[in-house]
Amino acid sequence: MRNITTALILKYKYQLILCAIFIVHLSNLFIDVMEIDAAQYAGISLDMFKSGSYLQVYLNGLDYLDKPPLLFWSSCVSFFVFGVSNFSYKFIPFLTLMLGVYATYRFAKLWYSQRAAIFSAIILASSQAFYLMSNDVRTDGLLTGWVIVSVWLITEYLKKKTWRYLIFAAIATGLAMLAKGPIGLVAVGVAIGYDLVLKRQWKEITRPVWVLYLVIIALVLLPMCVGLYEQYDMHPEKVVYGLKGPSGLLFFFWTQSFGRITGDIYWDNGAPLLYFIQTILWDFQPWVLIFFIAIILSLYNLVISKFTLNRPEYATIGGFLLVFAILSLSHYKLPHYIFLIFPFAAIITADFLDRIDGVLLRTISRIQMGLILLFFIAVVIGFVFVFPPHFILVPLLCGALFLVVCIIFLRFYGVEKLVFSTAIMAVSFNAMMSLNFYPQLLKYQASSAAGKWIQRNNQPKHPVFFYNTVGFALDFYQNEHATPLIIEQLDTISSGSWIYTNQEGKDALMQQTNRIFVVMETPSFSVTLLNANFINKYTRPASVKKCYVLEFR
């Protein structure tokens, strides 16, 4: 029986590791949405779902022009099917991420070995960026998934000349643009174009069929364009983001993306030119060391070959480096902006791993094993000094996975030992994060805690206000809009009204009237801005403030 079990594990080893990665991603769907962006997008989605205004986007009744509507549309579909919840808000982006993993595998399989294709899927799905995207759901997961789907389907079309691939590729590219703007088309065009140019396939570049591709994209974008025109272009009197009479269409196709490079919009957070090199050190863990070696060697081979053919494809190198350069020119940068090119990084890394052996493999394996040990130490530190587990099953699971890594280290040989050990370490670390760290961390997100409490206790419904603090999760979890409170109008609100506020707000309100009573208090900390004092459970109390729900009687 033992031999049969071992044989089955060895036979289905790739499927088992991908299944373990998938389960951790699935657990992220039940974690609360985080302030600011994810909670804001969840609130916009709920707004759209309740109002039925699907073409025109509003935030708390005000015009919202920043992001295209695909995330909001997909959330509305999930709300209709599953009801309003963390799960339903994250579900379709999660499916798109998993589709992106499959597309990465299929694209890699067109050019490289079966093993390299599987490695690319494992690397991408177990990267920290992917775990972040399935937890803190913004527009980047949809963009990443649809970009790599587009690149895969266009490559299938170029190889097989089957029309359905081109049609579905155009739809996927349109969805990428609906997720985050023209960068979706730019990323796809740069990747495919770079490959065709280096291969000197000029006839493919000039084929009239690309006109059909663009027409289908335009049809996909049409509903959004109609909404933008009706909401903004027909109302030149509006002022949005400091822009007087903005054109919604111009904002989508130019200002929001390219305007960050040209300076057409004032968004500028002062991030340095090489900002993304710093962020990738964490976001592509635990594979970043191997990726850096792989991309440097790929570029070296490309240069010494004088840009002649020495790779099966160049879409991954071009897609990563050129889009990386374009994004680096933006005056406003955040770490998640480069997640869309991580499928290319995964394929470059997987191809490298599939081909190395000898001294180089042994050297990288030793370094990577040290990194794996550090991650498991981080898991132990998390359990002891950060958030002690409430359920014994979580540390038992992580301990079991550590034993699995030890067994792999003894039973496997070559590059598979390196890949499986690294992937299982990523599963163990992120299982700790998803099942223990984030659930306990988000107890300190006061806006969601207050929103849930109000939803349970506000029966019959009383008006809800907020004062001196704001939190988009408050609206999402109480399933209603809170109204900003002006202190001079305090005595005009109805008896029974509830007010969400912080310590300073509570003190100010209580000085104004004796009709204010505390009905709920909750710890408060900006959970996306962690620091050493908060991380350490012994110094945490000093860094945590309080927020309150007050009743006006």
Per-residue pLDDT of 443-490, as tens digits, reads 999 999 999 998 888 766 788 888 888 888 998 998 888 888 888 888
- Give the whole-angstrom CA distance, residue 100 versus residue 127: 13
pLDDT at 506 exceeding the cut of 80: yes
Looking at the chain, the number of H-run helices and the number of E-run strands are: 27, 9
- Give the whole-angstrom CA distance, residue 73 versus residue 208: 32
Give exposure, 457-469, as e/b (b: 16+ Cβ within 10 Å). ebeeebbbbbbbb
- Give the whole-angstrom CA distance, residue 450 versus residue 473: 9
Structure tokens that stand for 439 in this block = 């659930």
pLDDT at 379 exceeding the cut of 80: yes
Residue 262 confidence (pLDDT): 57
Total length of the chain: 553
Model-level pTM? 0.91
- Give the whole-angstrom CA distance, residue 20 versus residue 23: 5
- The predicted-structure confidence for 39-93, as pLDDT tens digits, reads as follows 999 999 999 998 888 998 888 878 888 889 999 999 999 999 999 999 999 999 9
The mean pLDDT of 229-258, rounded to a whole number, is 80
* Selection from 535, 499, 534, 531 nearest residue 516 by Cα: 499
Cis-peptide, bond into residue 286, ω within 30° of zero: yes
Q: Which residue has the higher pLDDT, 429 or 308?
A: 429
The mean pLDDT of 335-345, rounded to a whole number, is 91
* Residue 327: alpha-carbon gap to chain centroid: 17
* Selection from 432, 523, 530 nearest residue 28 by Cα: 432
* Residue 217: count of CB within 10 angstroms of its CB: 24
pLDDT at 2 exceeding the cut of 60: no
Judge residue 126's burial from the number of C-beta atoms within 10 Å of its C-beta, 0-12 exposed, 13-18 middle, 19 or more buried.
buried
Q: Which residue has the higher pLDDT, 385 or 210?
A: 210
- Give the whole-angstrom CA distance, residue 178 versus residue 383: 41
Structure tokens that stand for 527 in this block = 């959970």
For 236-281, the three-class secondary structure string (H helix, E strand, C coil) is CCCEECCEECCCHHHHHHHHCCCHHHHCCCCCCCCCCCCHHHHHHH
* Selection from 139, 11, 134, 18 nearest residue 67 by Cα: 139
Give the residue extent of every domain in the chain: 19-126+137-268, 358-443, 445-552
Name the band, by pLDDT with cuts 50, 70 and 90, for residue 394.
confident
The mean pLDDT of 491-499, rounded to a whole number, is 84
Residue 387 confidence (pLDDT): 87
Structure tokens that stand for 301 in this block = 């081979």
Give the chain's mean pLDDT: 87
The mean pLDDT of 249-275, rounded to a whole number, is 69
- The predicted-structure confidence for 105-161, as pLDDT tens digits, reads as follows 999 999 999 999 999 999 999 999 999 999 999 999 999 999 999 999 999 999 988
Residue 284 confidence (pLDDT): 93
- Give the whole-angstrom CA distance, residue 449 versus residue 44: 19
- Give the whole-angstrom CA distance, residue 372 versus residue 367: 9
Please report which helix (H) or strand (E) contains residue 109, including its range.
helix 86-111
Listed as own residue / partner, the contacts of 507-516 with beta carbons closer than 8 Å and 24 or more positions apart are: 508/467, 508/468, 509/467, 509/550, 512/487, 513/552, 515/552, 515/553, 516/550, 516/551, 516/552, 516/553
DSSP 302-324: HHHTTT-S-SS--HHHHHHHHHH
- Contact status, residue 89 vs residue 42, Cβ threshold 8 Å: yes
pLDDT at 381 exceeding the cut of 90: no
pLDDT at 252 exceeding the cut of 60: yes
Residue 261 confidence (pLDDT): 60
The mean pLDDT of 488-514, rounded to a whole number, is 86
Q: Which residue has the higher pLDDT, 241 or 173?
A: 173
Residue 350 confidence (pLDDT): 95
- Contact status, residue 417 vs residue 357, Cβ threshold 8 Å: no
* Residue 391: count of CB within 10 angstroms of its CB: 10
